[in-house]
A and B are shown apart, each in its own frame.
Chain A
Amino acid sequence: MAHTLYTFMTGIGFQLALMICLAGTAMKLVLFFMRAAKKDKAFLAFFSFRYAGRSILFHLVPYMSRTSRMHPEMTAITIAFHAGVLTLPFFFSAHGVLLSDSGLPRLPRFPDIVSDTLAVTGLIALLFLMGRRLFLRTVRFISSPADHLLLVSLVALFLSGIWAHFQMPEFLWASILHMAAGNLLIASIPFTRLSHIFYMPLTRGYAGSEFGGVRMAKDW
């Protein structure tokens, strides 16, 4: 049973998740631009790669924007989480083996100490974000059940990954849980808040284009 699930998760399950993610993202982006051409010509007219890039850069480089300086702990936590979640799927050695076995080009692989550090700090960051969502009045007020579910899924992903990597008891089931959570999260990217992965260059970029190209003001 476990082995059948393992094979499914690393094979068809993963391929299906990836296809849903890519097709969903493509569909969302095509719809966005089609609707922009019809209903928001200003978006296309004012979008500037120069100012969009400037704005994105100032908001992504830690402590460059005023908001990241005002919340230094949140900046550190966000970096810790994103560093793990964006790099480990590609450069963690076990993932590298699975990717190579799927016929994809061989990617560089992190030494275990780097992967372990990223995974553990990522998990701690997630627990901090969860605590923030549960205990900070302002964040709790705007949180929806979907926000909590997303965080729980991410915690499950990190925790099961660490569990499986260190081969703690029942690690095979931990691997399956890890892959199930990973596949679900990949498939949900276009349809949940995770869509900020591909919308962010458009939303922050457009803000930067308006502030930089029209309003001649800094926006960070």
Chain B
Amino acid sequence: MSESHQRITDIDDKGIDAGLALFNEDRVKQIIKHVINNEASPRLNAYLSTCVHCGLCSDSCHYYLSRDKDPSYSPAGKVKESLLALTQGRKITPEILKKAAIVAYTRCNLCRRCSLYCTLGVDIAYLISVVRRICFLCGVVPHYIQDTANSHSATFNQMWIKNDEWLDSLYWQEEEAREELPELTIPVEREGADIMYSVIGPEPKFRAQLIYQAAVIMEKAGINWTFPGTRGWDNSDMCMFTGDYDMMGRLKKAHFDTALRLKVDRIVMGECGHAFRSVFDTGNRYLGWKMPPVPVIHAVEFYNELLTENRITIRKKLDTPVTFHDPCNIVRGRGLHDIARKVVRSCCDTLIEMTPNREHNFCCGAGGGVINCGPNFKKERVLGNRVKAQQLFDAKAKGAEIVITPCHNCHGGLEDLIHHYGIDMEIKFLSDILYETMEI
């Protein structure tokens, strides 16, 4: 067996192994029965009965294409090795459960691309989410992502950031930004502001420049905005991906409650895809809201508004050729591909397209919580996305020097691809480009 095709059951993960140490077949069967009978949508049975096993979904999956069309990486193949292995076999062994967990957590990005390629409309991402839910209830979850979910439970953010550290980060960035714009403030807890700006935990932790840039953009656009000073500032949600739906609901409730307490007109979310999925699509539904109780828009839509309303002006367009990577959760999840391109074209001279793109774009390989499963699964992730690396190579060959993507997970995923495959490209957020090119 080649190194790149390590046997699933040989992969070690502290979290999965700890859960399996407590393995009890009867309990696992009870959990499966509970999830299928009491929690899962009737769509689950409809999907399983409807799927005619034609295999047409295969060519939609970046893992399958990147892994030399190994059938176990096809969407239907992954369902067979996870959901069907758990629900249709007579016996469940620790190996079967481990395999199901690894397939569901680390070999599917829940990117929903395969939904576009199944004539019958089978939602593979939903089926894989059901497997994750079962694994979560069995306590068999990769260590790193569970640690992030634990952080959500304890601190309501994904990076174990204490509230004073959050506030310190804001004051620190305010101080930094005042060197450039002496009148600038980063408003915190401003009741009645038009906008509550929410970000994900890694922004104050690793990417504080994004808070700086957001503050400069808001200041120059004359926006009446605020950051929350309490929990609810972090819009991210790894619990949605581990299968801890109760905690997902608590996180989204804290987020919406904060916006309602601050009496803002709407929430503008920073450049993150999975958080948008959680706030706009998944978490709100768990709480019983058909649509979020406070209007929510993604940063891409917000930047477009600012440019369209001439609230900010572009000083000089970037002359370096760029390419644009479509994040699944705001493209297949919200159709923002054309708006994003409009923003890119407003501040860049040359946009080189990768194909396929827009709704048919390949995932970065990091989404769906896969990157959060940690270093044990990094190799699998980069080898499983050779097709995206090829797209980047092709864009580079056409002259693109920078890849822009308005999503934190995509940054992580593309960064790993760029390093692994040796692609000489820079990755930037839209706010990086806006800040660089706008009139200040």
CA distance A219 to B356 in the complex (A): 14
In the complex, what residues of B have CB within 8 A of residue A74's CB?
Answer: 54, 56
Q: Which of A24-67 contact B (CB under 8 A)?
A: 31-32, 35-36, 39-40, 42-43, 45-46, 55, 59-60, 65-67
In the complex, what residues of B have CB within 8 A of residue A218's CB?
Answer: 116, 335, 359
What per-residue 1/0 map shows which CB atoms of B73-91 lie under 8 Å from chain A?
A: 0101100100000000000
* A203 pairs with B121, CB closer than 8 A: yes
* B41 pairs with A43, CB closer than 8 A: yes
* B121 pairs with A207, CB closer than 8 A: yes
Chain B: CB-nearest residue to A36: B42
In the complex, what residues of B have CB within 8 A of residue A32's CB?
Answer: 42, 45-46
- Verify if B93 is at the interface (C-beta below 8 Å from A): no
In the complex, what residues of B have CB within 8 A of residue A132's CB?
Answer: 55
Chain B: CB-nearest residue to A144: B53
* A65 pairs with B359, CB closer than 8 A: no
The stretch from A4-12, A133-141, A178-186 touching chain B is A133-141
In the complex, what residues of A have CB within 8 A of residue B333's CB?
Answer: 215, 217
CA distance A68 to B85 in the complex (A): 30
In the complex, what residues of B have CB within 8 A of residue A110's CB?
Answer: none
In the complex, what residues of A have CB within 8 A of residue B281's CB?
Answer: 214-215
* B334 pairs with A138, CB closer than 8 A: no
* A139 pairs with B117, CB closer than 8 A: no
* B56 pairs with A141, CB closer than 8 A: no
CA distance A143 to B54 in the complex (A): 8
CA distance A68 to B56 in the complex (A): 9
Looking at the assembled complex, report how far the CB atom of A31 sits from the nearest CB atom of chain B, in whole angstroms.
Answer: 7
| Most interface-central of B40, B115, B121 (chain A CB within 10 A) | B121
Chain A: CB-nearest residue to B57: A67
- Verify if A206 is at the interface (C-beta below 8 Å from B): yes
A39's partner among B39, B56, B119, B121 (CB-CB below 8 A) is B39
* B116 pairs with A219, CB closer than 8 A: yes
* B121 pairs with A204, CB closer than 8 A: yes
* B40 pairs with A39, CB closer than 8 A: yes
Contact status of A220 and B43, CB under 8 A, knowing A142-B80, A203-B121: no
* B50 pairs with A199, CB closer than 8 A: yes
- Verify if B123 is at the interface (C-beta below 8 Å from A): yes
Looking at the assembled complex, report how far the CB atom of B293 sits from the nearest CB atom of chain A, in whole angstroms.
Answer: 15
- Verify if B11 is at the interface (C-beta below 8 Å from A): no
Chain B: CB-nearest residue to A38: B42
What per-residue 1/0 map shows which CB atoms of A141-152 lie under 8 Å from chain B?
A: 111100100000
- Verify if B72 is at the interface (C-beta below 8 Å from A): yes
Q: Which of A186-206 contact B (CB under 8 A)?
A: 192-193, 195-196, 199-200, 202-206
- Verify if B331 is at the interface (C-beta below 8 Å from A): yes
* B41 pairs with A36, CB closer than 8 A: yes
Q: Which of B31-72 contact A (CB under 8 A)?
A: 38-43, 45-47, 49-56, 58-60, 64, 69, 71-72
- Verify if B122 is at the interface (C-beta below 8 Å from A): yes
- Verify if B285 is at the interface (C-beta below 8 Å from A): yes
- Verify if B290 is at the interface (C-beta below 8 Å from A): yes
How many chain A residues have a CB neighbour from B under 8 Å? 53
In the complex, what residues of A have CB within 8 A of residue B359's CB?
Answer: 217-219
CA distance A220 to B74 in the complex (A): 19
Q: Inter-chain contact count A-B, CB under 8 Å? A: 148
In the complex, what residues of B have CB within 8 A of residue A39's CB?
Answer: 38-42
Q: Which of A120-139 contact B (CB under 8 A)?
A: 132-133, 136-139
Q: Which of B102-134 contact A (CB under 8 A)?
A: 115-123
- Verify if A208 is at the interface (C-beta below 8 Å from B): yes
- Verify if A216 is at the interface (C-beta below 8 Å from B): yes
CA distance A215 to B74 in the complex (A): 25
- Verify if A90 is at the interface (C-beta below 8 Å from B): no
In the complex, what residues of A have CB within 8 A of residue B40's CB?
Answer: 39
* B117 pairs with A138, CB closer than 8 A: no
Looking at the assembled complex, report how far the CB atom of B43 sits from the nearest CB atom of chain A, in whole angstroms.
Answer: 6
* B77 pairs with A206, CB closer than 8 A: no
B332's partner among A42, A141, A196, A211 (CB-CB below 8 A) is A211
In the complex, what residues of B have CB within 8 A of residue A71's CB?
Answer: 56, 59
* A203 pairs with B50, CB closer than 8 A: yes
* B119 pairs with A141, CB closer than 8 A: no
- Verify if B360 is at the interface (C-beta below 8 Å from A): yes
* B123 pairs with A217, CB closer than 8 A: no
- Verify if A70 is at the interface (C-beta below 8 Å from B): yes
In the complex, what residues of B have CB within 8 A of residue A67's CB?
Answer: 56, 59-60, 116-119
* B119 pairs with A142, CB closer than 8 A: no
Cross-chain pairs A/B with CB under 8 angstroms, 28 sampled: A36-B43, A39-B38, A39-B39, A39-B40, A42-B285, A43-B42, A66-B117, A67-B60, A67-B119, A138-B69, A139-B55, A140-B71, A141-B77, A142-B74, A142-B80, A144-B53, A193-B52, A196-B51, A203-B50, A205-B121, A206-B121, A207-B121, A207-B123, A214-B281, A215-B334, A215-B335, A217-B337, A218-B359
What 12 new A-B contacts, CB under 8 Å, besides A67-B60, A207-B123? Answer: A32-B45, A71-B59, A137-B69, A137-B71, A138-B71, A142-B74, A195-B49, A199-B120, A204-B120, A211-B115, A219-B115, A220-B116
